[in-house]
Structure 1
């Protein structure tokens, strides 16, 4: 995702309904999210679907890493050599 430019990428929520097509066009063209504001406060973010999917994939990976770290702390991990053997066995079949 391209870095958010708050001065350029903030829009009031009151204009969202009438300007939704232009908001979506801006997100797609700039590859930057738009921050929607209400009474001067940030309330929501509009992002493109591709970026949303990338974020979901990264989140799933991070959750798997956190789960693995928790398992290791509990002593539930698999030694490297054993894990490597399991992966190679699955890969070869």
Structure 2
């Protein structure tokens, strides 16, 4: 995801309401998130759909890796060699 540019990518909610289509086009074009503020404080983030999906996928992969490491540390994992042997036996009975 491209880096946020505070001068362009932080806008008050009132400005977003007045020009929602323009800001959505900015998000689609730049792929940068748009931070909306309300009463001078961060209130919401608008993301391009593709960027959002990529972000969710990255989080899922990181969680899978974390879970796998935890399983391995508890001795619940299966050795690489065992998996390879199992797969080979299934492919070449």
Summarize the Cα distance change of 1:52–1:88 in structure 2 as closer, same or farther, 3 Å threshold.
farther
What RMSD in Å do the two structures reach over aligned CA positions? 1.8
Map of 1:80 onto structure 2: 80
Summarize the Cα distance change of 1:54–1:86 in structure 2 as closer, same or farther, 3 Å threshold.
farther
Q: What TM-score does the superposition give when structure 1 sets the normalisation length? A: 0.86
Gaps of 5+ in 2: none
Map of 2:6 onto structure 1: 6
For residues 24 and 9 of structure 1, what CA distance do their matches in structure 2 show? 11
Gaps of 5+ in 1: none
The count of residues paired between Structure 1 and Structure 2 equals 92
Map of 2:63 onto structure 1: 63
Map of 2:44 onto structure 1: 44
Shift of 1:88: 4.8
